Copies of this chain bind each other. A is one copy, B any other.
Amino acid sequence: MKKANRATKPELPRRSPCAVANTLDRIGDKWSLLLVRDMLAGKTTYGQFLESPEGIPTNILADRLKRLEQFGIIARSAYQERPVRYAYALTESGRQLGRVLRALADWGLENIAGTKKELVPGSFVR
């Protein structure tokens, strides 16, 4: 797994100047947007993310949190000392991904049988 010190912006190799391509290079994988979904639903800690029904592996979770932080989509802060515990929260930039989430959810609801809108009621309803 990639070794990168927390909170330093990585210069991603740019495939093209396309806004869609560049966005996908940041959040275009199977897990990143699920974490954003969870945060929009109010989750904030490592442990809470692990509880989601999709079952993200712990190493992937740690990696994605680091990436999202580096991209300025989320921010990490200690919510208590002794012992130190961290909370993750969406930045303004991250909150704006709500529109993407909503579009994805709407598409799934219309086009995939048996899918449900929310796991946590009231999270990203219109």
Contact = CB atoms under 8 A, between A and B. Distances in A.
Interface of A: 14-26, 28-30, 33-34, 37, 52-55, 72, 93, 96-97, 99-112, 114-119
A55 B14 CA distance: 12
B107 A17 contact: no
A23 B112 contact: yes
Contacts of A28: 28-30, 33
Contacts of A96: 107, 110-111
A18 B107 contact: no
A44 B59 CA distance: 40
8 contacts: A15-B54, A18-B108, A18-B116, A19-B109, A19-B117, A24-B33, A96-B110, A103-B103
What are the nearest 10 A-B pairs in CB distance? A19-B108, A23-B108, A16-B53, A19-B115, A15-B54, A100-B103, A19-B105, A99-B103, A103-B103, A17-B116
